Structure 1
């Protein structure tokens, strides 16, 4: 194993000291966490308060990344940089001024929509995608201004295309795959991926079995999944986003899928007609496995060792260096 650092573009679990130590000891030097799915501004602030408390208590293991330099500091001190992110824009409470407020609180990545339409645009599960709203255009512009990366992982196709075009900065799809590689509504069509690449964005290849199928079943399959995306998008536009949920509490999956908006069965990314393969290689949350996938890619000659390091560290780092800085500021 090369021992090179890893950045994970998205996780959605709960983190005590043990989980943070396992991330650190597994070579993960930065991870974007999910501070909220459906939570509003006050609820999200409660989660951010918890992170401030956790980092104060476990500062020898973790720090909060407000800039790319903070990730450098995590690498230098063998700690984990926590990138504060959300999987919905519900934290803004439909107030444009809250974008800046939450940037000041440390939030650096926000997904525009989660699993239903909101005031910004459509999700990937809506039967009709009406595109980025007028409010959505203003939110993207404001996120660009303050230094908050736009994420499109659960966002619908038309809304994604509109957001990529509206953004003056590269956007992220931090945990999804190409629909041409694995057909699933949560994965991205060719038009979105072409636009992502043309505007300098990055896709976090996701080994979540519901949206990766048989590729997620083994280390070799996961290595092949990454390599296929590099063939499709080019080496500068592919990273990694596990979508893992360590220490997920009881009921968390139902909260992710239903929030407060539905009493009906909501499947999220699961498909009732297709049983996903087990992904036992990562079920124990041994984060060394991320590095093992990276190393397997190089050992099999799917990419060079330098290219594999770029996927598992360099591409996110480049994007964070530039994207977390306010417009016009030096990274």
Structure 2
């Protein structure tokens, strides 16, 4: 089984079939970038419809137990995530509401500074704000993974230290291997590992570089160098693969509503359009090549399993379990209240 910590785009039945061909057991999908609360609810609803229409291939997973059960049934678990915190619109109580709807990952910032902290593209990284600290702790409490992929290095380190649960950089690479604002410095990655977090190594060419994209072996060597920095228990896969995106999608992803001008995101004026996928990853089902590629660069079977699935499952177990605790606490409250306990809904529970 392989787990991909982050993908985005317009998923279709063909996409799901390709994931199954590669034996992808779980994938975190991107439900939004710049969308506010109502738009994010629409996105979750569309995802529920899409999954229901393809329930022979996929199902939404909200816990390790569910992910393992979905995988055992021959399907791929869909983990709902957002690449920004705009869905909360500054309301800390919305964290729990979205957790109850099945959201299991939220990135604190996308490409711009927000009220939680600094983005990787700002000239000055403000660090984790007071609001950010409150949101991180609420995400800890409700079982949502704190994602720091597009977050500035200072804010990333602040969030790692402030969080009571391990956090993730779901789709980035070490800056020391390929310098880019989207990638993380070694000191940040070491703190991430010390606190039990996970880095999902990306295949997105703009933050991975032509060398590491030129062959499966080269990309797997990048993973091996990431392990040298962080340890084998803290490195996983987070491809950042996009599906069926066209220019309007890339324009929205990079510019949203915040500018009248042109912003290239992780691209550049010299390479403004869609970045070509790695030479070895032309089709989605080529993800299935990764276990063999990792073995070729020297990882043993146990280490391959950690990188391709067990590290994510360990992290998900430590984080997602809090959602079950919140539900159990609410049920205990209902059952202990003499009025609520006699209602038909409580009795049915």
1:1-331 mapped onto 2 (5 Å cutoff): 5-213=1-209, 214-272=211-269, 279-285=278-284, 287=285, 289-301=286-298, 303-326=299-322, 329=325
Q: Any idea what SS the aligned residue of 2:171 has?
A: coil
Q: Which moved more, 1:17-26 or 1:122-131?
A: 17-26
Moved over 3 A (4+): 271-278, 327-330
Alignment CA distance shift 1:322-1:223 (3 Å): same
Distance in structure 2 (CA, Å) of the matches to 1:161 and 1:327: 25
Distance in structure 1 (CA, Å) of the matches to 2:101 and 2:240: 23
Residue 119 of structure 2 contacts residue 152 of structure 2 at CA under 8 Å; is this kept in 1? yes
Cα distance, 1:273 vs. partner?
Answer: 5.5
Alignment CA distance shift 1:169-1:255 (3 Å): same
Q: Any idea what SS the aligned residue of 1:160 has?
A: helix
Q: Any idea what SS the aligned residue of 1:312 has?
A: helix
Distance in structure 2 (CA, Å) of the matches to 1:156 and 1:114: 10
Residue 29 of structure 1 contacts residue 81 of structure 1 at CA under 8 Å; is this kept in 2? yes
Q: Any idea what SS the aligned residue of 1:324 has?
A: helix
TM-score normalised according to structure 2 size: 0.89
Residue 144 of structure 1 contacts residue 327 of structure 1 at CA under 8 Å; is this kept in 2? no
Cα distance, 1:172 vs. partner?
Answer: 0.3
TM-score normalised according to structure 1 size: 0.94
Cα distance, 1:159 vs. partner?
Answer: 0.8
Residue 209 of structure 1 contacts residue 217 of structure 1 at CA under 8 Å; is this kept in 2? no
Cα distance, 1:54 vs. partner?
Answer: 1.6
Distance in structure 1 (CA, Å) of the matches to 2:276 and 2:3: 25
Question: Which of structures 1 and 2 has the bigger CA Rg?
Answer: 2
Residue 177 of structure 1 contacts residue 187 of structure 1 at CA under 8 Å; is this kept in 2? yes
Cα distance, 1:299 vs. partner?
Answer: 2.7
CA-based RMSD of the aligned residues comes to 1.8
Distance in structure 1 (CA, Å) of the matches to 2:172 and 2:109: 14
Distance in structure 1 (CA, Å) of the matches to 2:247 and 2:78: 24
Cα distance, 1:280 vs. partner?
Answer: 2.9
Distance in structure 2 (CA, Å) of the matches to 1:112 and 1:142: 12
Task: Name whichever structure is richer in helix by fraction.
Answer: 2
Q: Which moved more, 1:152-161 or 1:19-28?
A: 19-28
Distance in structure 1 (CA, Å) of the matches to 2:89 and 2:277: 38
Distance in structure 2 (CA, Å) of the matches to 1:278 and 1:111: 24
Distance in structure 1 (CA, Å) of the matches to 2:167 and 2:281: 28
Residue 217 of structure 1 contacts residue 278 of structure 1 at CA under 8 Å; is this kept in 2? no
Cα distance, 1:70 vs. partner?
Answer: 1.1
